[in-house]
Amino acid sequence: MKDLIQKLVEVWGPSGYEHHVRALIQAEVQAFVDEMTVDALGNLICRVGSGPKKIMVAAHMDEIGIMVTFREPKTGYLRFANLGGLIQTTLHGSRVRFEDGTVGVVAAPDAFGASRTTAPDLDSFYVDVSDGTDADSITPGSPAAFWRPMESRGSRLISKSMDDRVGCAVAIETMRRLQKQTPHSLYFVFTVQEEVGIRGARPAAFSVEPDLAIALDVCPTGDEIQGERNVVKLGGGAAIKLQDTGLIVPPAVRDWMVDRAEADKIPYQFELIKAGTTDAAGIQIARAGVPSGCISIPCRYVHTTSEMVDLGDVEACVGLLTGLLSHDVTI
């Protein structure tokens, strides 16, 4: 799992530009699927099994990033817009990587003055791609993703884009363990553009027409010093979502997940968050409605270049999802 996660988090793929991630996933799962298609928006849809109940499992491929909007004349300084939810207090000194491999440094004006304690407006930030020449290969319209290699410390993995490449890893490993053995028709959907408004999951669900859906995503923890009032802990097991700003999980879906976790002795905890949502929020309102839930991987420092997960939690999520998809469902 660790090697798979590292490959996924280090590949380049900001929202709207997920093609490198999609190619990597296609290579990883081709032996475990019965059918694989790419829809018009770029979602990768993998069918496993041909049973009567359609279950959609969604994990998003994209990561937060930026897009260049303007190049300051005669400099290597680039102005940019956000692709997804940036945390401005974490931007100064961060690195971004463009598709051609160019690495830039995000900077804020007056870094040793007011910007030390108060983050300026996003319009004030810029990316420095100067190389000592007048080269200008990075032009307006160029997207970039934040860049850091993955690091490990014991059972903890630290990297950019754990949100949601670790969810993609959970889906891939579940497919590997199922080996096409399921009583259902499973649709593993690796979605695009979640970070900019759940734009991929909605049309994918409209096409698949699932009877039931599970999103795989990260969730913030409440175990940091002076953390928010949140019961999720790193190392506490799979997080079974109860609600977020876009989804109230139906009790039948919640109980289905809890009963499976207890039957298989999988550690779990409940997730209730006051900010953010997942692909399940979009899937639930497709066509005439889809009962939807979410299995979350606890993650510290979400939407930074140092998102942290625990391998034990990842394993718990794989075990829970594999168990759910291996047994009959009465919902």
Token couple for 100: 């051609």
Residue 135 makes CB contacts below 8 A (sequence gap 6+) with none
Q: Are 138 and 102 in contact (CB under 8 A)?
A: yes
| 150: nearest Cα among 24, 5, 300 | 5
Residue type, 119: A
Residue 63 is given by DSSP the state B
Q: From the candidates 18, 28, 63, 194, which is the catalytic residue?
A: 194
Q: Which residue has the tokens 């009962």?
A: 291
Q: Which residue has the tokens 């034990």?
A: 312
Does 28 qualify as catalytic in the annotation? no
Q: Dihedral through CA 300, CA 242, CA 264, CA 219, nearest 10?
A: -10
The rounded distance, in Å, linking the Cα atoms of 158 and 149 is 9
Query: Which residues are the active-site residues?
Result: 194
